[in-house]
Structure 1
């Protein structure tokens, strides 16, 4: 599963761009150049998804094929936490911890967007959840 959220980039009269996410209307930013606006959009998306993960809030899935939108990815830590949360679905953290043969706090760290899990931890968690870890570089 790829985590990319659609965002609109509106040129501003005085220059620069205003960015707002289609699926997260309370998440927006700006930038003096398109490149800066894209960078800031990734930062804003990472912060909002991280906040929602920390608070245990539901996160709307990204809309596919949003016309006129650019698709933005959050940072790697946030993507990892989001993907583990999505793959776990209705299973408890205790079930995941038992499957990984680890403690509940260690399993919880996998869903913490401030934690840098190792590839080995992510691979083991994916396998325990019946998934496969796939990496890509842009």
Structure 2
């Protein structure tokens, strides 16, 4: 509910950027401080997981705002299809990172890399002015 209000106030793009930034930051803290113990994992893990919903809902809000009138269904179909087509990336990076670095904790870096790349691509994307998106 809080993210929905922020979406209305700031626009969905800013909510997505904030959410993905928190996900990346919390993931990096988990990796950097994993030796501290379970407290870091639980605190940062809850923070990280609490940002997934706002990122997903704001992405749909952004898509609804930038879709050409009359083509919304087509855009949402493409959105769903590309999500499925790209769904292999995080598990692949998880596995690759564990293989390369030798421990499960490093798999987190692979997933965070995928999210960070998505954030970087979003920052490069042009969206309509805040009144529209």
After TM superposition, is the score higher than 0.5? no
Greater share of residues in strand = 1
Greater share of residues in helix = 2
TM-score, normalised by the number of residues in structure 2? 0.33
